[in-house]
């Protein structure tokens, strides 16, 4: 099975958009700047392991209202 560069690029772009949305959703509860959290999640997910590590950091972070 061959995977061409166009398909790989589309999959990475789709993953980046999904991760940006998830990071924005978590950033609304966990940070003071949810837009920055979403943008950073989208940028870091261009390399998928970095995006997943950032998502784990956001999940494990305490909520803003609980501090």
Contact 45, 51 (CB under 8 A): yes
In whole angstroms, give the CA distance from residue 48 to residue 13.
Answer: 11
Q: What is the pLDDT of residue 2?
A: 79
The pTM score is 0.84
Tell me the pLDDT band of 67, cut-offs 50, 70 and 90: low
């Amino acid at each position: 099975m061959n995977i061409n560069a166009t398909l790989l690029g589309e999959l990475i772009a789709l993953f980046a958009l999904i991760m940006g949305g998830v990071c924005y959703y978590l950033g609304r509860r966990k940070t003071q700047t949810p837009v920055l959290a979403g943008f950073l999640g989208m940028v870091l997910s261009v390399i998928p392991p970095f995006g997943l590590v950032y998502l784990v950091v956001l999940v494990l972070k305490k909520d803003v209202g609980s501090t």
